[in-house]
Amino acid sequence: MSCENYEEVITQAAIGEKVPDFTVEAYDPEDCGFCEVSFEEIRKAGKWLVLFFYPADFTFVCPTELADLANKHAELQKLGCEVVSVSTDTKFVHLAWKNDERLLKDVKFKMAADPTGEVSDFFSVYDHTTGQALRGTFIVNPDGVLVSSEVNYYNVGRNAEELVRKVEANVYLKDHPAEACPARWTPGDKTLTPSEKLVGKVYEELNGD
């Protein structure tokens, strides 16, 4: 991870705060080659960024997660997202794993390499005991602000369908900042507009009473 004045700008990602520009090496399954992922370029392109950290290549829960994410990749792209998976493996290991593991046959998003653990540490998912990343999912909006964070331990896989729902909600709220999305909100559902009139009356607002 390279970032100008990294220590001076920010040392740890925080919800509601801007993420500094960074660059990481990656394997690109679509081009079958190596590349760089530049957060600055993603931000300047007006895209959302989904960072999907996982412990290690050639493991067990991890390929099921990446396969699940691959199934939702097209939906996330339509929402304006750049999806990047990240582990502490090298880009060479990513290439070998992608070619060997049949569960990864539909993976088209870039697979970033974080062998020093610097990116994982910045997002507070780096396990200094194992040298691996926990299962962390982060959503950064086009302004570079971290708006969502989810971290699981090694033995619990995630649900890409819920990730899509959270991205949909955040995309909606970026255009409607005065509103809020209640539990299980999906596009088309009723939102809430916080005010003194809504205090103690959320049931009535959601049910039309």
pLDDT tens figures, 65-100: 999 999 999 999 999 999 999 999 999 999 999 999
pTM: 0.93
Residue 1 forms part of a structural domain: no
Q: In the prediction, which pLDDT does 181 show?
A: 98
Could you tell me if 72 and 134 lie in one domain? yes
The three-state DSSP-derived secondary structure of 150-182 is: EEECCCCCCCHHHHHHHHHHHHHHHHCCCCECC
Work out how many domains the chain is built from and give that number.
Answer: 2
Mean local confidence (pLDDT), 169-198: 97
The pLDDT mean for the chain works out to 95
Q: What is the mean pLDDT of residues 36-49?
A: 98
Residues 32 and 116 in one domain: yes
Q: What percentage of the chain has pLDDT greater than the value 90?
A: 94
**Position 3 confidence tier, pLDDT thresholds 50, 70, 90:** very low
154 & 193 share domain: no
Active-site residue 62, yes or no?
Answer: yes
70 domain residue, yes or no: yes
Position 2 pLDDT exceeds 60: no
Shared domain check, 47 and 132: yes
CATH of the domain at 36: 3.40.30.10
20: in domain? yes
The whole domain housing 183 covers 177-209
Residues 42 and 70 in one domain: yes
Q: Is residue 169 part of a domain?
A: yes
Residues 198 and 107 in one domain: no
Q: Which is catalytic among the residues 3, 32, 35, 62? A: 62
Do 167 and 202 fall into the same domain? no
Same domain, residue pair 122 and 77: yes
Quick check: is 59 in a domain? yes
Helix (H, G, I), strand (E, B) or coil at 195: coil
Catalogue the E-assigned strands of the chain. 23-28, 33-38, 48-53, 81-87, 110-113, 126-127, 132-133, 135-140, 146-152
Q: For residue 1, is pLDDT > 90?
A: no
**Do residue 122 and residue 196 come from a single domain?**
no
pLDDT band at residue 10 using 50, 70 and 90 as cut-offs: low
- pLDDT class for 126, splitting at 50, 70, 90? very high
pLDDT band at 9 (very low <50, low <70, confident <90, very high): very low
Residues 138 and 206 grouped into a single domain: no
Give the burial string for 100-112 (b: 16+ CB within 10 Å, else e).
Answer: ebeebeebebbbb
Does residue 26 sit within a domain?
Answer: yes
Q: With a cut of 50, say whether residue 61 has pLDDT above it.
A: yes
Residue 151: pLDDT above 90?
A: yes
